[in-house]
């Protein structure tokens, strides 16, 4: 499994040659101006919630790639009504896709499209694929529901928001990593806007002091699991 960070909360995940794109927000991110969205592969586009900093580039990329848009019922249907391929899910549900098993899990946040259209309830994803399991928290507060995840899935990586203001901060993400029983964390949802700028060294040290590993990728950077 290869995971590429495209800035903010956008991830490219490659499993068995299948390209999964999560929460595409690239053209609106000045820090990601070196990323060409026409180069990004997508067989699936997973959306945690409807906020524009997670959905801005969905239609452009889905039109070119014909990707299947996977999200909660309201978001997937919203794109379905516009003619895009889609797969509707809801909290607690799983589906076996060709890349692996995907579960839509609870996130504590809000979800509306930029025009005010209702975007259902926000979520995160657990992906079990190719002998590696990951949790993508989405935008969320620290929530006790995270404790349910390791009861079903032993995680190899937790992808957690750490920028505060709209989501968990670094300290809450450390507690979240305890809750999901995964000490290997990829941080996201930081630095894009003034409200969520963080000190990288400070964040990494706080994780290190708890015996945990916080990875912060450069935009365009990848890790192999």
Q: Which two tokens stand for residue 94?
A: 């799983």
**Per-position x/- string for 13-52, each x denoting binding to Mn ion as judged by CB under 5 A, each - no binding:** ----------------------------------------
Beta-carbon contacts of 45 under 8 Å, excluding residues fewer than 6 positions away, are 20, 21, 22, 24, 58, 61, 62, 67, 68, 69, 70
Segment interacting with Ni ion, rule: CB under 5 A, options 46-54, 82-90, 148-156, 182-190: 46-54
Pick the closer one to Ni ion by CB: 66 or 165.
165
Residue of 92, 186, 90 whose CA lies nearest to 137: 186
CA distances from 50 to 30, 139, 197 (A): 20, 11, 22
Work out how close the CB of 109 gets to Ni ion at its nearest, in angstroms, rounded to a whole number.
6
Segment interacting with Mn ion, rule: CB under 5 A, options 35-43, 72-80, 133-141, 212-220: 133-141
What HEC string does 122-151 produce? CEEEEEEECCEEEEECCCCCCCHHHHHHHH
Using CB under 5 A, which of 139, 169, 172, 191 touches Mn ion? Answer: 139
Pick the closer one to Mn ion by CB: 139 or 172.
139
Please give the residues from 52 up to 71 whose contact with Mn ion meets the rule CB under 5 A.
Answer: 53
Work out how close the CB of 69 gets to Ni ion at its nearest, in angstroms, rounded to a whole number.
17
Work out how close the CB of 183 gets to Ni ion at its nearest, in angstroms, rounded to a whole number.
26
Residue for token digits 């003619």?
Answer: 83
Pick the closer one to Ni ion by CB: 15 or 136.
136
Pick the closer one to Mn ion by CB: 14 or 139.
139
**Quick check: 51 binds Ni ion (CB under 5 A)?**
yes
Bridging pattern class, strands 18-22 and 11-15: antiparallel
Please give the residues from 123 up to 182 whose contact with Ni ion meets the rule CB under 5 A.
Answer: 139
Report how far residue 12's alpha carbon sits from residue 151's, in angstroms, rounded to the nearest whole number. 26
Report how far residue 116's alpha carbon sits from residue 51's, in angstroms, rounded to the nearest whole number. 10
Work out how close the CB of 49 gets to Mn ion at its nearest, in angstroms, rounded to a whole number.
8
Q: In what order do the strands lie in the sheet with 222-224?
A: 86-89, 68-72, 44-46, 18-22, 11-15, 2-5, 222-224
**Quick check: 23 binds Ni ion (CB under 5 A)?**
no
Summarize as ranges the residues that interact with Ni ion (CB under 5 A).
51, 139
> Which residues would be at the binding site for Mn ion (CB under 5 A)?
53, 139
């Amino acid at each position: 499994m290869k995971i590429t960070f495209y800035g903010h909360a956008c991830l490219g995940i490659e499993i068995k040659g299948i390209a999964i794109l999560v929460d595409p927000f690239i053209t609106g991110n000045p820090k990601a101006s070196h990323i060409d969205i026409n180069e990004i592969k997508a067989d699936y586009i997973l959306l945690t919630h409807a906020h524009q900093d997670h959905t801005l580039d969905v239609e452009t990329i889905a039109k070119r790639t014909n990707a299947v848009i996977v999200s909660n019922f309201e978001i997937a249907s919203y794109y379905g009504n516009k003619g895009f391929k889609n797969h509707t899910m809801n909290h607690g549900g799983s589906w076996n896709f060709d890349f692996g098993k995907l579960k839509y899990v609870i996130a504590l946040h809000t979800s509306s499209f930029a025009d005010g259209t209702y975007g259902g309830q926000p979520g995160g994803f657990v992906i079990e694929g190719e002998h590696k399991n990951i949790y993508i928290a989405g935008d969320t507060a620290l929530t006790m529901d995270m404790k349910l995840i390791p009861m079903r899935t032993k995680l190899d990586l937790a992808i957690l928001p750490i920028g505060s203001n709209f989501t968990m901060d670094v300290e809450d993400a450390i507690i979240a990593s305890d809750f999901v029983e995964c000490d290997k964390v990829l941080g996201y949802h930081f630095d894009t806007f003034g409200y969520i700028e963080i000190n990288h060294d400070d964040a990494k040290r706080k994780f290190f002091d708890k015996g945990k590993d916080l990875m912060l990728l450069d935009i365009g950077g990848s890790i192999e699991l």
